[in-house]
């Protein structure tokens, strides 16, 4: 269920081999020093 929600908000993507990986958006939004960090929302 969590992976589906993360895929909906473009944090996870699927590779051609059907494996999950971080989306490019995740690299922009999840680092703690990022201007648009919302990792706290996912942590709690």
- pLDDT higher for 28 or 17? 17
Average pLDDT over residues 12-38: 78
> Taking a C-beta distance cutoff of 8 angstroms, is the pair 21, 13 a contact?
yes
- pLDDT higher for 33 or 40? 33
Does 44 have pLDDT greater than 60?
no
**Would you state the structure tokens that stand for residue 15, as one six-digit string?**
């590779």
> Taking a C-beta distance cutoff of 8 angstroms, is the pair 31, 37 a contact?
yes
pLDDT tens profile 27-38: 776 676 776 666
The model's pTM is 0.48
């Amino acid at each position: 269920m969590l992976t589906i929600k993360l895929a909906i908000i473009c944090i996870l993507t699927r590779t051609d081999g059907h494996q999950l990986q971080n989306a490019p958006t995740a690299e922009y939004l999840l680092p703690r020093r990022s201007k648009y960090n919302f990792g706290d929302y996912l942590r709690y």
